Amino acid sequence: MNRNYRYEFHKTKIDKLRSSIIKSCKKCNGEGYIPTGNTINKNSFEFDDCRCKKKFNRLKEYIVSNIPKRRFNLMKTLKKKGNVINTLTNEKISLYNVVIRKYLKNFNKIKKDGLGLMFFGTPGSGKTTASIFIIIKLIKNNKDCYYIYFKDLIGLLMQSYDDKSKGPLFKEIISVDFLVIDELSLVSRVTPHMVAEFTSICKQRFEDEKPTLLVSNYYTTEEIFHNFGSPMESLLMEAFIPLKFSGRDLREDKYEYLKKMFT
């Protein structure tokens, strides 16, 4: 897997992470490794990675995958609850215990089919959280993943037209094993040409056996079809499993907490 351009793109964040985790570690004095106590010969000692380096390597993968920093501790705080509706069958199923568990378990087979997911529905119902959960799990299985907002993907595409140096980064991002494209509903300034390019990207990934996860706050698939046109509608029906999220906005708990804090 080629990550050179993403490493360069996220270099500042990676350097900052290294400084905050490894360079400040008192256990290894900022070296990143510690002696195991075993000797190779009278002049050589065996070393192992310090815990700080192991943590750095894990979080570095998150950065290269463009996972937002506030999601780094997701696995420690996530409550695996909630159901979704498979709109192909109108069946209500468990998001984590059925959909995500089976998708991850069968990912290698799913990858050969290029079969992606489409999360849509109520804002704040856990779509982004679930998508990042999948990415983190796949990273642990050495899959190359990337998370990006729709507007940023389109922005990078447009930049690559005028600035050829952006082309390799864009190509690297759209070639990962598993790509999450979030905020698909923010299309107010997107032209028909951009929609056509986006559809082409999704179609090419499907043909290359690279699953994509689309995340949108649209309430129905009809809204998505209306905004992205018939070519995308055809592709969504063929290459994606549509899963509808509903229920109350999970962020309301946070709002209530903040209200109590300042009243």
For the chain, the structural domain boundaries read 4-61, 85-254
Give the tens place of pLDDT for each residue, 94-133. 999 999 999 999 999 999 999 999 999 989 899 999 999 9
Q: Are 32 and 50 in contact (CB under 8 A)?
A: yes
Q: How far is the C-alpha of 105 from the C-alpha of 125, rounded, in Å? A: 24
Q: How is residue 189 written in tokens? A: 């300034």
- Mean pLDDT of all residues in 156-164: 90
CA gap 113, 178 in Å, rounded = 13
User: Rounded mean pLDDT of 70-84?
Assistant: 88
Strand, helix or coil for residue 76: helix
pLDDT, mean of residues 176-201? 87
Residue 257: per-residue pLDDT: 39
> CA-to-CA distance for 232 and 225, rounded, in angstroms?
7
pTM of this prediction? 0.89
CATH fold of the domain at 85-254: Rossmann fold (3.40.50)
